[in-house]
Amino acid sequence: MESVTVSVADKESIPTKNPQNKNSLKMFFFMFAKVKKIKTQYRNIVLKIKCFYLCRKISFFMKKQVIVVAGGSGRRMGLETPKQFIEVAGKPILLRTLENFHLFDSGMDIVVVLPEKEIERWKHLCRLFDCQIQHRIVEGGATRFQSVKNGLKLALPDAIIAIHDGVRPFVSHKTLTRCFDAAMQFGTAVPCVDIIDSLRMTTAKGNCACDRSLFKAVQTPQVFKSELLMAAYNQPFNSSFTDDASVVETCSPIHLVEGDTDNIKITTPFDLQMAELILKSREKQ
């Protein structure tokens, strides 16, 4: 049998696995996977943007309605005049609220809910201040829940409906846009702001500190798709219902949107002073 000898030079010429080629292959597959992931993320972002603008487009053409609940009294003001009729810079608060929504969308359907005994007073004020804003008036109920339910008798079908406090005349148009857009997309939209004060929870044993980052201060308008709102208000009254969101959340999750600090509810003499300051500040802008 012949013996075969292999020289050192021959050994060097035998193919061997190249670590550099292996690393390059790994890098190729890594980059391929990364590019694929980026493309997927890009497609998802584009899809979300398209959905957002589609919702805005549909929201623009979809019927909008606001039910303004104005059933308050002047008790906390220390006045006989109901708070919604108190003048701020020479004009009733409720009229300022209607004007704000009309400026936001002149085609919006407006319903005003008032106590029965105050309807004639409101009609007189409309004549006195030459109110040209078209709106319908509904008699309120014994509770806010019943007042909203009465207002919903004039609800438009297949619409986006806002429920708003009559004594919140300064909600910004940016907030209104966020509310109507979100309601179109999610079915519900509730504006809220961060809590700035420290909170304590009272219990039978005393009280304890709360993490305020877990809480939000809720505002209006609270905006919903009409079919969802109507279904929610078909249920019997419950003492846990403090606003429209608490009624609707028995049927659907609530989507929160950013509110604004100027959107104050005017219920005290201090609020009246704040309202005057807000008006002066806006006049300077």
* Model pLDDT for residues 122-131, shown as the tens digit of each residue: 999 999 999 9
Does some domain include residue 114? yes
- What average pLDDT does this structure show over 256-281? 96
In a domain, 26, yes or no: no
Residue of 72 and 158 predicted with greater confidence: 158
Residue 136 belongs to some domain of the structure: yes
Confidence of residue 270 (pLDDT cuts 50, 70, 90): very high
Confidence of residue 35 (pLDDT cuts 50, 70, 90): confident
Kindly state whether residue 28 falls inside one of the protein's structural domains.
no
Across the chain, mean pLDDT equals 88
pTM of the model: 0.79
Q: How many domains does the chain have?
A: 1
Confirm whether 148 is domain-assigned: yes
Mean pLDDT of 230-239: 96
Most confidently predicted of 26-35, 49-58, 73-82, 195-204: 195-204
pLDDT more than 70, % of the chain: 84
CATH of the domain at 175: 3.90.550.10
The Cβ of residue 98 has, within 10 Å, a number of other Cβ atoms equal to 23
With 0-12 / 13-18 / 19 or more C-beta atoms within 10 angstroms meaning exposed / middle / buried, residue 35 is: exposed
Measure the CA–CA gap between 182 and 235, rounded to whole angstroms.
24
Please say whether the beta carbons of 77 and 83 come within 8 A. yes
Tell me, what's the pLDDT at 20?
Answer: 63
pLDDT at 21 over 70: no
230: in domain = yes
For 141-163, b/e burial (b = at least 16 CB within 10 A) is beebbebbbbbbeebeeebbbbb
Range of the domain at 134: 63-195+213-284
pLDDT of residue 51: 57
Residue 205 pLDDT exceeds 80: yes
Asked if residue 41 belongs to a domain, the reply is: no
Using CA atoms in the order 150, 153, 156, 158, what is the torsion angle rounded to 10 degrees?
A: 100
Residue type, 161: I
Amino acid at 204: A
Q: In this structure, is residue 50 part of a structural domain?
A: no
